[in-house]
Structure 1
Amino acid sequence: MEDFLLNCDVCTDRRITVITSLDEIRREMLDREIVMNDYVAVLLLRGSAEVSINDKIYRIEQNQMLFGQPSIVLRKLMISVDAEVKSIAISGEYAEEIFALDREAINMQIFLKQNPVFSIDEDSVRVFCQYCDLLKSRLAPKKLPYQKEITEALLTAFKYEFGGAIINRVDFPRSEFTSADNIYKQFLVLLESSSAKYHQVSYYADKLNITPKYFSAVCKKISGKTALQVIDMAVLRDVESLLRRDDMNIKQIAATLGFPNQSFFGRYVKKKLGVSPQKYRENLANNV
């Protein structure tokens, strides 16, 4: 957004960006295309805007939201001179780190991919603005006690407020989901059905009665990631969650997560996270 917003009140820590006001803005047009890497929620408080999302033109009016997610393509953005917005952007990697891949999340993700612009009511507008202001205050340059934990708690609460605002306004058109959408949803349900996760792409392809090649193509189309990357995201989230606990040793964690032995688990964590499980546990304890 920095390319076309003038005199924006922007606060960021590279993982989260909050835009809370536009003091002066003139009509601009973005000729180059942008492939999104972040999750972005933009609320238009006044004025109007128009944008091409994946080659489809959307007009945005007062009290409407634009939701962008990784892999969508934005082009030809135009904003009226009287526009006022508030926006929260979360990096794709950070969102994957703090938000679970559950059935509700994927239903919402698919719906928002099909409906990136939608209206919200006055109460939801007020709440969205409050979260913008709260998150901005937590992104202060000065390091605050429990700053990371507070920020993550606010983002989690915002996720549910945001989801609730959508559910209150629209019915999820489940019948309009494509076969690829349904395959991906079923995959996530399988993936989240137990702590011990299978790491092989072929296992999930067999369960879904499709070939591994087609399964990988579906994952790439829907999420922008390979099937193995999605599996690793879920496994690593569980790894971090269990390593935060002090009532399980490394061997027990490896067994819980379905690794054949502690040595294999150690090599996996070292390859994916760059350090041993024990070192990663120490880093978590020290909030590194």
Structure 2
Amino acid sequence: MRRKELRDLGLQQVIELQMIPYNVERYISSDFGLVLSVKGMSDITEKIFVPEQPYRLTEGRIVYMRSGYVRVRMNLIEARLDAHQLRVVSPGAVLEFVEYSPDCDLTMLAFSSGFMEGWQKENLLSAYIQGRVNMQLALDAKSEHRLESIFQLMWDVLHDEPLSRETMQALISVLFRQIECFQGKGQKEVKRTTRQEQLFARFISLVNRYAVSERNVSFYAGKLYVTPRYLCTLIRETSGRTVMDWVNDAVLLEAKLMLCHTDKLVYQIADELYFPNPSFFCKFFRRMTGKTPNQYRQGRR
């Protein structure tokens, strides 16, 4: 039987998971989704919160952590989202769940970029839609109350008959404006970055974009306007890993996406990932994971 294509994790793919799209805690359509709470929703957590399984987010995510924690890898970088924190991630990010606590509960919003067509977009909202936002903020009690009020108002409007698209667009705009206020009124990012860390973040962004076809240190150094030697030193000092470690991780992630979510044969995947032949790809995959591509695929069925 052919497996369902789920390489992208978007609203449409969630609907196709044969779960109920509407109940007292969630509203999911093809271009808008709001989940007030995941507590007790095993049909979501068991099918989507799968450790070590990569997804590419078709739509971005605004996630408010109510309790517990969740650990993820976002575009190769591991992060932990704890209670009283907010994470905003643009469309196109590659996500892997690592672990979540038994008391994990969160509110999550997703919407298609097309949903905001025709609406004037503030700086943060524009950057979000353009794929340039990946932030995490700590919230105080007042900010949490404000955030919950906005989500609750969204929830109420979603159940109006008929549903007012313009009202929902306005509320999304208000939400992003409020997030900007959180940043500007003492709500500090969880981690302040140095210039070296900013360069590292730009490097990771380039790796996520180009690693499949570009595996040369000089390419990334050129994009960042630094020498290859300086880049190698900076990446090792910042992350404790080499440039090629990160590049190989990105290539491996793409391989896992194809093995998990498509029926492409190993030689086809090797070709799409620019390996000279399937043998090279299999040796690379086994060196990185301890398994052959087919063994990894069988373990995910």
TM-score (normalised: structure 2): 0.49
Letter in structure 2 aligned against 1:153? A
Corresponding position: 1:44 with 2:44: no
- RMSD between aligned alpha carbons? 3.7
Deviations 1:51-100 (A, max 9, x none): 00011111111101222211210013422111111111121222454353
Q: Which has the higher contact order (CA 8 A, sep 6+)?
A: 2
What residue is the counterpart of 1:127 in the other structure?
146
Deviations 1:208-242 (A, max 9, x none): xxxxxx9xxxxxxxxxxxxxxxxxxxxxxxxxxxx
Deviations 1:123-151 (A, max 9, x none): 1111111111111111127315xx12221
What residue is the counterpart of 1:167 in the other structure?
184
What residue is the counterpart of 1:24 in the other structure?
40
Gaps of 5+ in 1: 182-213, 215-288
- Larger mean CA deviation between 40-49 and 23-32 belongs to 23-32
Corresponding position: 1:155 with 2:177: no
**Change beyond 3 A, Cα 1:149–1:31:** same
Q: For residue 21 of structure 1, give the secondary structure of its aligned residue in structure 2.
A: coil
Which residue of 2, 7, 10 corresponds with 2:26?
A: 10
Number of residue pairs aligned between Structure 1 and Structure 2: 177
* Contact in 2 for aligned 1:21/1:85 (Cα 8 Å): yes
C-alpha separation in 2, matches of 1:73 and 1:40: 12
* Contact in 1 for aligned 2:91/2:129 (Cα 8 Å): no
Letter in structure 2 aligned against 1:37? T
Corresponding position: 1:136 with 2:152: no
TM-score (normalised: structure 1): 0.51
Letter in structure 1 aligned against 2:105? E
What residue is the counterpart of 2:115 in the other structure?
94
Cα offset for 1:112? 3.6
Identity among equivalent pairs (%): 15
* Contact in 1 for aligned 2:64/2:86 (Cα 8 Å): yes
* Contact in 1 for aligned 2:90/2:129 (Cα 8 Å): no
* Contact in 2 for aligned 1:37/1:92 (Cα 8 Å): no
C-alpha separation in 1, matches of 2:114 and 2:55: 18
